[in-house]
Chains A and B, each alone.
Chain A
C-alpha cells in the first residue's frame, strides 16, 4: 500500500468507531449506513462517514443498493483477517529519486553552459528559471511533503518538462537548435549516470525531449 491510502486506513482504524464498525461487518453481510448506525447507536452521518473512510482505506467493499428511486451505498467486510502494509520503497523513493535526477539535470545543464564558455549563458539560464518559475523552490519543497500538491512522479515530470523547455529555448536562441539539443542531451546523460533503471522505469527522459 502506498502512503496516502495507508494514512486513510490508519486514520479510520484509530477512530472511535472504526474497529466497532469492522466487527459488526465481520460476518460478510452487506449493510447500509442507517443499519450500522442503528445497531451501534450512533448517528447515521457518523456511520456513513466512517464506512466511507474504511472503504477508502481498503477494508470494506462497497456497492450501490437501489430501492425505487433512492440509491444508497452498502458495505461489507471482504475478509475477517485484516492486513495493513506500508511499502515505503514503492511510495517514497521514486518521487524523491526522480527529484534528485531532475535537480541533477538542471545543475549539469547550468554547469555545461558555464564550461562551454558562452559569456553569461549559465547566469541567463538561472535568471530565466527564477523569472519563469519563481515559485519553483517553494513548489518543490512545500509540494513533496505530506498533503503537498506534488505527489506523483508524473507531476514532477510535467514540472521539469517545462523547466527543460525553458533551458532549451534560451540555448536555442543563443547558439542554435542543434547545440541546444546537444547541451540538453549531455546534461541528461550526466544526470542519468548510475540512475539508468530509474530513468527507464519512469520514462524520466521524455519530458526533457531526449531519446
Chain B
C-alpha cells in the first residue's frame, strides 16, 4: 500500500485515507475561507519534497508568494534548503499577470497546461498543488466552459503522472465548491469545514469522495497547532 499512496504528512488524515492520496490522481481540497485548505496543501507538498523524495511544484495564483513563505515559516516548514536542493518549487504565477487590476483571472487552464508541460519534466515534480481554482474560474464565461476546460486539463494531469492537489474555495451557503463541478472531475474530494458550535468555530474534515480507496466517511475534528494541521482521526463530529 505504501508505494501506491502519496502520504500527506498529516498522520490523522493519512489514517483515514488508507495512507494518503492515490498516486497519479487528481485530488481536491475545498472549504470556506480560513478553513485551512492552503495549509493542508502545503503539508502535502512539503512532506513529499522533504520526507519522501517526491519533488513538489506549488503554484500560487492568488496570494503573494511572501504570504505563503510566511505561513510555511510559522509552521516550521523550512523552504530555503528545499529550494536550494531543487525539490520544492514555490511559483507565484500571479506576479506575471498582465493586464493589471482589470484582469479577472490569473490564468486559464490552457496557460496552466502550457506552463506545466515545460516545468513538470524540468523539475521532476511528483506532486503538484494549484492554489487555487478560484483564480482560474472567472477566466471562463460560463460554468460549462470551465467544466470543459477543466476536463481537458484533468486529462493532461493524469498523463503527466503527477499526484495533484487542487485547492478550491467554497462560498458559504452556496455549495461545497466554488463552481459546483470541481468535485466531479477530481478523484478525491476532501472538505474542510468551519462550524459554529456553542459560539465557537470548530474545524472539521470529511473525505467526501476517494476513488479506488476504502476510506473513512465520517466528519472529523481537526486543529491547527504549532506544527500545522492535526486531524483527530479517532474522534467524530456528530
Contacts and interface: CB of A to CB of B under 8 A. Distances in A.
A122 to B, nearest CB: 12
A182 interface: yes
11 contacts: A116-B92, A117-B92, A117-B95, A119-B84, A173-B118, A175-B118, A176-B115, A176-B116, A176-B117, A183-B96, A189-B99
Interface string B73-109: 0000000000110100111110111111000000100
A116 B100 contact: no
A174 interface: yes
A115 B83 contact: no
Interface in B52-67: 60, 65
Interface string A107-138: 00000100111110000000000000000000
A186 B98 CA distance: 5
Which 5 pairs, one residue from A and one from B, show the smallest C-beta to C-beta distance?
A: A185-B98, A176-B118, A178-B114, A182-B96, A176-B114
B217 interface: no
A102 to B, nearest CB: 18
Interface string A168-187: 00001111111100110110
Interface of A: 112, 115-119, 172-179, 182-183, 185-186, 189
B89 A115 contact: no
A119 B97 CA distance: 19
Contacts of B110: 178
B111 interface: yes
Nearest to A185: B98
Contacts of A179: 93, 96, 111, 114-115
Contacts of B96: 112, 116, 179, 182-183, 186
A176 B119 contact: yes
A175 B86 CA distance: 15
B65 A117 contact: yes
Given A175-B118, A176-B114, A189 B93 contact: no
Is the interface on chain B under 10, 10 to 19, 20 to 34, or 35 or more residues? 20 to 34
Contact of A115 (B65, B86, B100, B117): B65
Interface of B: 60, 65, 83-84, 86, 89-93, 95-100, 107, 110-111, 114-119, 122
A174 B110 CA distance: 17
Give the secondary structure class of B's interface.
Answer: helix
Given A119-B83, A177-B114, A178-B110, 14 more contacts: A112-B95, A115-B95, A116-B92, A116-B96, A117-B60, A117-B89, A172-B118, A174-B118, A178-B114, A179-B115, A182-B111, A186-B95, A189-B98, A189-B99
Q: Interface centre among A117, A175, A183, by most B CB within 10 Å?
A: A117
Given A178-B111, A179-B96, A116 B91 contact: yes
Contacts of B115: 175-176, 178-179
A118 B119 CA distance: 10
Contacts of A182: 96-98, 107, 111
A189 B102 CA distance: 13
Contacts of B111: 178-179, 182
A117 to B, nearest CB: 5
Given A176-B118, A176-B119, A178-B111, A118 B97 contact: no
A152 to B, nearest CB: 29
Nearest to A111: B95
B104 to A, nearest CB: 15
B89 A118 contact: yes
A32 B65 CA distance: 75
